[in-house]
Amino acid sequence: MNRFNDEKLYIINTCLWLKKQGYVFGTWGNISMRLPDGNILITPSKVAYETMTPDDLVILAPDGTQLEGFRLSTSEREIHRRLMNKRPDINAVIHTHSPYAMAAAARTEGVPAISEEMCQLLGGAIPLSSRFVPSQNHVELGEVVADSIGNSNAILIRNHGPVCLGSDLEEAKVCCQVTEKSCMMYLSLLAAGNISVIEDKYVTAGRDYFLNSYGKS
Ligand SMILES: [Zn+2]
């Protein structure tokens, strides 16, 4: 039996789900999950999701050393690794090229908190990474994204696409949906020209409610 076989199959199924949602095409997009031993399970570079098997996945140490797998991990590994290291509260990272979030990522600022979904599930506004970095500059790109994330569960990589985080992979999937929907709403609202942004105190209270009270009363 392949070590961490269930986790590997879960990631592969999530890749197929992303494709079905229209959030990725070709071999774009990538997923990682923090394993119970602290290492990072991550998708490989340039393998079609339809033919991906558990053996194709790669395990990295938190310092980036490849511990397992015969393939090269995704070229965007530094984004995943640095976010995991920066945010001990998250255990799953999904990067997609979903269309509305990509469009929003080509603006000069992030998306403000415009819905309660954003407050509760993302922690409020979606930040935009501080500057453009060509994706071939892997390390620099990872640094800039990790430096720009703050406490949010989603970020837009400038002129590139969204990265969504979660305490587990299921939560990161919901984050992908909320991020794409929020970006669609915001771009539509910009055309309308009149936007009501939620005050910071309600953003904080909404996130706190979701983390600590939701479903408990
Ligand atoms: Zn990408």
The residue extents of the domains of the chain are 5-212
Query: pLDDT at residue 206 above 90?
Result: yes
β-partners of residue 44 are 73
Confidence (pLDDT) at 178: 98
Task: Pick the more confident residue, 113 or 27.
Answer: 113
Residue 89 C-alpha to ligand 1 middle, in angstroms? 23
Residue 52 C-alpha to ligand 1 middle, in angstroms? 18
Mean pLDDT of 89-95: 97
Query: pLDDT at residue 7 above 80?
Result: yes
Confidence (pLDDT) at 207: 93
Query: pLDDT at residue 134 above 90?
Result: yes
Task: Quick: pLDDT tens for 188-202.
Answer: 999 888 899 999 999
Alpha carbon distances (Å) from 35 to 3, 91, 100: 11, 8, 31
Task: Quick: pLDDT tens for 155-182.
Answer: 999 999 999 999 999 999 999 999 999 9
Residue 30 C-alpha to ligand 1 middle, in angstroms? 8
Residue 32 C-alpha to ligand 1 middle, in angstroms? 13
Confidence (pLDDT) at 173: 98
Q: Record the pTM.
A: 0.95
In the chain, what is the greatest distance between 2 CA atoms, to the nearest angstrom?
A: 56
Residue 163 C-alpha to ligand 1 middle, in angstroms? 9
β-partners of residue 166 are 92
Sorted by sequence, the CB contacts under 8 Å of residue 179 that are 6+ apart come out as: 98, 101, 122, 126, 154, 162, 164
Residue 121 C-alpha to ligand 1 middle, in angstroms? 22
Residue 116 C-alpha to ligand 1 middle, in angstroms? 28
Mean pLDDT of 52-57: 96
Residue 189 C-alpha to ligand 1 middle, in angstroms? 26
Residue 34 C-alpha to ligand 1 middle, in angstroms? 20
Residue 93 C-alpha to ligand 1 middle, in angstroms? 13
Confidence of residue 1 (pLDDT cuts 50, 70, 90): low
Mean pLDDT of 18-41: 94
Confidence (pLDDT) at 194: 86
Q: 5-212 belongs to which homologous superfamily?
A: Class II aldolase/adducin N-terminal domain (3.40.225.10)
Query: pLDDT at residue 54 above 80?
Result: yes
Tell me the two tokens of residue 147: 């430096």
Residue 95 C-alpha to ligand 1 middle, in angstroms? 7
Q: What is the mean pLDDT of the chain?
A: 95
Confidence (pLDDT) at 2: 76
β-partners of residue 163 are 95, 155
- Laid out side by side, the sheet with 154-157 consists of 66-68, 58-60, 40-42, 30-34, 92-95, 161-166, 154-157
